[in-house]
Amino acid sequence: MAKETEIKLRASRETLAALRDHPLLKKRNKSGWQTHELFNQYYDTAERDLAGAKVALRLRRDGEQFIQTLKSRGQSVAGLSERNEWDWQLKKAKLDLKLLGDDCWPASLAELDKKSLQPIFTTDFVREKAEIAWGRGKAKTVIEAALDLGKVVAGEGEEEICELELELREGEPAALLELACELAADLPLMPCDISKAERGYRLYDAGSYSLSLPLPELNAEMTLDDAFAALAWHLLGSSQRLAEQYRWNGHWKLLEQWLQQLIDLRALLSSLGQAAPRASSRELREGLDALLADWRPRLAAGRDDEALRHNCPAMFAGELLGNRWGLLSLQLSRWLLARAWTVERNNRGQRQGNAALGNWLPTLLSEEAEGLRLKHYQQFPEGLAEQLPRLERIQAWLRLARQVPELPELDRLYGELGKLQALFSPANDPEVLAARVAQAHTVATLKPWKLLLK
């Protein structure tokens, strides 16, 4: 068994061509580009039991070689994945079921009749690969870069494969993100947290691709640093899966959910105070602000404009033709992996970052509730929209860490705050202003809100 650590980056055909001659890869290329035609047949039961167990089984023909491979889903966050892989050389293009023993076969499938495995889909592509090596300080780094171009075929459906895979051969995982960031600064590359096998299953059954990632299990005893890292990885990974699925099917709800992940991520970044010095996150905040400045008004307008909703997939495709979204995603991944917000912060920031979430979060929520000044805005409702960032910080923490604050009727508070937020625009409509006053009063009279203000 080997452990595979890699990152997949969706590209265009033009980008793949440009990568072959990219100066950065040319300089570090120690092997030259080698071309392989890879023909892959994936197997599962008719009920897709292997997919349910998070494993993929394939038979590959690489030239004159036949290779049987079993892969586990492993850990995958924001496009950077680690998984276990078992490879066996075969003499002919036929599965050897005897190789699928207890040392690799999932315990959850122990009762499965392996003879029920059948061909499900194929992924056939041309791979150009090269060994990229360089020194990072005293450490040596070796990464296999693979340019894959081909297609996934399931029944009558097919989808193009056009991607760059960076697989770690020697060194630290941070090197993958370092190289990916440098390439994405020049070329449009989008982290893609969906394997070729997942694409095949998605073609085989469009409902099989799971968009929802489980929320991190937070508790009151964990530190603020650990809670923030877990939530930020979750939001980033979710945003990438939503972007991929919206690119694929153009469903409006997915675009709304993608935007919400970015809003929540931006809210968390601005809530940390000295635990995350502003200088450490300035570039990331600016990148998020630029995306939100473009896409927030489009989605707000699209809720009442069917023509705009219809045009948004083309607009999003245009976004992906540039490098803004892909580069920001990779920069965020690199920043989170290095826990860069913890570097060079002062003693007070260290204490905040190491504080128990159960102590820090109630203080934050109380300070934000005080700052929202609902009684004031009941008299001057036209100014309430200026408090949107503060309300988004409250909402993000209530949604993502709802099990931590010891407050009654937390779900009701969250829902009523959401109703208030929905009334933030248009700014000068008399009916909206009157509704703001009424909703601000409703929130102010809630028991959990009163407890926050004590």
Asked whether the beta carbons of 333 and 191 are under 8 A apart, the reply is yes
What is the DSSP code string of 350-406?
Answer: HHHHHSBHHHHHHHHHHHHHHHH-HHHHHH-GGGGGGGHHHHHHHHHHHHHSTTSS-
Cα→Cα distances 62→110, 131, 198, Å: 30, 18, 21
pLDDT mean over 98-119: 92
Between the two ends of the chain, the Cα-to-Cα distance in Å is: 57
Cα→Cα distances 121→155, 166, 222, 232, 356, Å: 7, 24, 44, 34, 48
Is residue 282 over pLDDT 80? yes
CB < 8 Å & 24+ apart, contacts of 300-306: 300/425, 302/252
Asked whether the beta carbons of 162 and 12 are under 8 A apart, the reply is yes
Residue whose entry in the numeric block shows the structure tokens 């300089």: 27
Q: Give rounded-to-5 percent helix, strand, coil for the chain.
A: 55, 25, 25
- Tell me what pLDDT residue 210 has: 66
pLDDT mean over 159-187: 94
CATH fold group of domain 1-210: Hypothetical Protein Pfu-838710-001 (2.40.320)
Cα–Cα distance between 199 and 152 in angstroms, integer?
7
Q: Nearest to residue 208, comparing CAs of 31, 56, 26?
A: 56
Asked whether the beta carbons of 218 and 138 are under 8 A apart, the reply is no
Report which DSSP code applies to 124. Answer: E
Cα–Cα distance between 440 and 442 in angstroms, integer?
5
Instruction: Tell me which H or E stretch contains 199.
Output: helix 196-204
User: Using CA atoms in the order 210, 50, 195, 59, what is the torsion angle rounded to 10 degrees?
Assistant: -160
**Predicted confidence (pLDDT) per residue in 53-105, tens digit:** 889 999 999 988 999 999 886 665 555 677 788 999 999 999 999 999 988 99
Cα–Cα distance between 160 and 235 in angstroms, integer?
27
**Predicted confidence (pLDDT) per residue in 294-304, tens digit:** 999 999 999 88
Q: Nearest to residue 359, comparing CAs of 414, 409, 405, 407?
A: 405
**Predicted confidence (pLDDT) per residue in 317-372, tens digit:** 999 999 999 999 999 999 999 999 999 899 999 999 999 999 999 999 999 999 99
- Tell me what pLDDT residue 135 has: 82
Strand partners for 248: none
- Tell me what pLDDT residue 134 has: 87
Instruction: Tell me which H or E stretch contains 277.
Output: none
Q: What's the whole-number average pLDDT of the chain?
A: 92
Q: Is 349 helix (H, G, I), strand (E, B) or coil?
A: helix
Is residue 262 over pLDDT 60? yes
User: Using CA atoms in the order 386, 387, 392, 393, what is the torsion angle rounded to 10 degrees?
Assistant: 130
pLDDT mean over 374-390: 87
Residue whose entry in the numeric block shows the structure tokens 């004590």: 454
Asked whether the beta carbons of 5 and 173 are under 8 A apart, the reply is yes
- Tell me what pLDDT residue 384 has: 84
How do the domains of the chain map onto residue ranges?
1-210, 356-452
Query: How far does Cα 315 stand from its chain's mean position?
Result: 20
